[in-house]
Amino acid sequence: MPGWRVVYMMDQTGENRQAWYFLTEEAVEEIDQQREKFVEYMDSEVVIEKCRVKEGALHGLSQSDAKDLADRFADVVWDTDNWEKYAPRDVFEMS
């Protein structure tokens, strides 16, 4: 796929083996809304990966659009208020 790709991943995010963190459903909705703003004016060459608590992506962007979307993703992903704690056992059951 030509173009730039913006991705967020929360795999094994955490300080130790006692707990990992993924995005809350509300944060995923916020990210999805930000991503949809870009999809509205993109051509059919864009590849959309579903946004989930663990990861999400959008492919086929221009470099400037990718930087802008990455900043928007980062605002949500790096806000620890948007994180939900999971026990490692729960993480493996999600996969």
Q: Which residue type occupies 78? A: W
Q: For tokens 């992903």, name the residue.
A: 77
Residue-wise pLDDT for 26-83, tens only, equals 999 999 888 888 777 666 566 777 888 888 888 888 888 889 989 999 999 999 999 9
Which among 10, 64, 11, 12 is positioned nearest to 38, based on CA atoms? Answer: 64
State if pTM tops 0.85: no
Q: List the beta bridge partners of residue 56.
A: 8
| All structural domains of the chain | 4-94 (3.30.70)
Is the CB of residue 23 less than 8 Å from the CB of residue 84?
A: yes
